[in-house]
Amino acid sequence: MPYIKIRTNKKVEEPIAEQIKSKLGEDISILGKSESWLMVDIDDQADKLFFRGNKDDIAYVEVKMFGRADASHYNNMTENITQNINANLNIDPDKVYVSYFETSNWGWNGKNF
């Protein structure tokens, strides 16, 4: 039950969004999850998103998931996410934040796991 949200101040065209989503679908296995449960949200053109006091091309990525993973898996996932953002949106890796949120409470289909 992972959810990945990408917030960026760049415009993301549909074909690029599809490429980003597809790569995330492959990479989610790093955290022991599958694409069949993955929800991806790409929030583009965030014109009030600032980093280091300016509006350079930037991105913030949140990864939320049911359960836990170890630090090395998160490190590998961060590397892949950053490469994905760089390859598809041309945002420098030092302008991408990635954060992780684990939960033991996750609802779906009217019930909690």
The confidence band for 39, taking pLDDT boundaries of 50, 70 and 90, is very high
Beta bridge partners of 111: 108
Q: Write out the H or E segment, with its range, that includes residue 86.
A: helix 71-89
pLDDT in tens, 14-32: 999 999 999 999 999 999 9
Exposed e or buried b per residue across 1-12, where buried means at least 16 C-beta atoms within 10 angstroms of its C-beta = ebbbebbbbbeb
71 phi and psi, to 5 degrees? -60, -35
How far apart, in Å, are the Cα atoms of 14 and each of 5, 11, 19, 44, 95?
16, 10, 9, 11, 22
In terms of Cβ atoms closer than 10 Å to its own Cβ (0-12, 13-18, 19+), residue 17 is middle
**What structural domains and CATH numbers belong to the chain?**
3-112 (3.30.429.10)
pLDDT in tens, 59-74: 999 999 999 999 999 9
Can you spell out the DSSP letters for 5-21?
EEEESS---HHHHHHHH
CA distance 91 to 93: 6
> Three-state SS for 88?
helix
**pLDDT mean over 90-109:** 96
Amino acid at 63: V
